[in-house]
């Protein structure tokens, strides 16, 4: 597994998402996390709300049973969604970050992201929360999730030089709005609609790492597109291209994301160690320029 530097920390190009681990038996979770580490995946993405906190708690149970492994991991959590609304107040950010630390039994989060934009945000309050968490050694770096460029600019205007280093966004072979709009600029068709303020190019310009979430889902957690008859053309092309590289279609769906020069870090949500091994193998594959476009078009996307 290739690595890259995110805020000076060596991180795997693929991250393990922990949203679905809450109900796992300890032995299965043990196998999952150890498979990640054996495959070179050292980055784990959490949120205070996943499983109502249970995902961080069971991950903490694993760390308590394997105390030597914390130092081999990069740990990220998110906060800012509260009871069906959004809350970027200073008190909420600090309280949730501290609770994430307690649940996981760790001293420091490597990254803390603000989960979904709070339109009532006061950037100065966010800055105070970040300063306190950083000063006390509780969080090393900060980022956002589902934010557009101006929302990031607004936050950074109060952060006194502190940088937003990551932006987690929905992106997969079937959810490509942030690419479609750039390809269809100035056209009259629906794909030209710019829904995110050009977030892909903005993040590239600013050196912000995009972390695609739900890289195997179509719709909004509607289910995986791999093997789905509604995506027959995409699956046929995935079969064809993955065979060329001796990887599986599951792995190829991640190789496709990694091929984009934005150097994205996909957050995979599988809890299946076999799939993790498939993804890790394909993460070292570099498909060609033309194969990337063939796969893009096979998911039903058009070029003007
Ligand atoms: N920032 C945000 O707003 C946001 C939103 C959602 C998620 N996230 C993050 O993104 C991570 C990934 O999200 P996700 O779990 O929805 O992503 P995903 O990787 O797209 O989906 C994983 C789910 O698909 C299933 N699956 C079925 N066939 C699969 C195949 N061939 N390959 C891979 N998975 C297959 C997996 O089941 P098995 O376990 O049986 O493999 C698992 O239930 C989360 O854990 C979380 O950390 C962030």
Nearest to 88 by CA among 110, 109, 131, 119: 119
146 lines ligand 1 (CB under 6 A): yes
pTM of this structure? 0.98
CATH class of 3-170+196-223+257-277: alpha beta
Instruction: Tell me the torsion sign for CA atoms 38, 44, 49, 53.
Output: positive
Q: Which residue's CA is the nearest one to ligand 1's atom 43?
A: 270
pLDDT at site 118? 98
Kindly list the domain boundaries of the chain, sorted by start residue.
Answer: 3-170+196-223+257-277
45 lines ligand 1 (CB under 6 A): yes
Given a cut of 70, the residues of the chain with pLDDT beneath it are none
135 SS3 class = helix
pLDDT at site 189? 87
CA 269 to centroid of ligand 1, rounded, Å: 3
117 lines ligand 1 (CB under 6 A): no
Q: Give the number of the atom of ligand 1 that is nearest the alpha carbon of residue 172.
A: 20
pLDDT tens for 217-236 read 998 889 999 999 999 999 99
Q: Whole-angstrom Cα distance, residue 301 to residue 176?
A: 9
248 lines ligand 1 (CB under 6 A): no
Q: Give the number of the atom of ligand 1 that is nearest the alpha carbon of residue 18.
A: 45
Polymer length of the chain: 304
pLDDT at site 83? 87
Write out the catalytic residue numbers. Answer: 50
pLDDT at site 190? 85
Q: Whole-angstrom Cα distance, residue 282 to residue 276?
A: 10
226 lines ligand 1 (CB under 6 A): yes
Is 116:81 a contact under the CB 8 Å cutoff? yes
CA 221 to centroid of ligand 1, rounded, Å: 8
Q: Whole-angstrom Cα distance, residue 168 to residue 147?
A: 8
């Amino acid at each position: 597994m290739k690595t890259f530097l995110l805020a000076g920390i060596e991180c795997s190009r693929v991250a393990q998402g922990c949203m679905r681990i809450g109900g796992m038996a300890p032995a299965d979770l043990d196998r999952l996390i150890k498979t990640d580490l054996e495959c070179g995946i050292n980055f784990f993405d959490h949120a205070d709300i996943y499983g109502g906190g249970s995902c961080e708690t069971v991950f903490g149970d694993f760390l308590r049973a394997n105390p030597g492994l914390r130092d081999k991991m990069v740990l990220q959590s998110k906060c800012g969604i509260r009871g069906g609304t959004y809350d970027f107040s200073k008190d909420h950010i600090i309280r949730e970050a501290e609770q994430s630390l307690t649940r996981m039994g760790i001293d420091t989060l490597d990254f803390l992201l603000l989960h979904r934009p709070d339109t009532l945000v006061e950037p100065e309050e966010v800055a105070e929360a970040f300063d306190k968490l950083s000063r006390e050694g509780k969080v090393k770096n900060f980022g956002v999730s589902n934010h557009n460029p101006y929302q990031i600019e607004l936050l950074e205007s109060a952060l006194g030089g502190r940088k937003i280093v990551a932006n987690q966004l929905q992106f997969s072979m079937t959810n490509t709005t942030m690419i479609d709009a750039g390809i269809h600029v100035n056209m009259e068709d629906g794909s030209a609609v710019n829904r995110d303020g050009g977030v892909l190019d903005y993040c590239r310009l600013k050196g912000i790492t995009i972390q695609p979430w739900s890289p195997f889902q179509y719709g909004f957690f509607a289910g995986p597109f791999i093997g789905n008859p509604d995506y027959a053309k995409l699956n046929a092309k995935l079969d064809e291209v993955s065979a060329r590289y001796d990887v599986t279609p599951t792995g190829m769906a991640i190789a496709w994301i990694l091929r984009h020069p934005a150097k994205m870090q996909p957050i995979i949500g599988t809890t299946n160690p076999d799939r993790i091994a498939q993804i890790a193998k394909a993460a070292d594959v570099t498909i060609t320029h033309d194969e990337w476009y063939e796969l893009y078009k096979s998911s039903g996307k058009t070029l003007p």
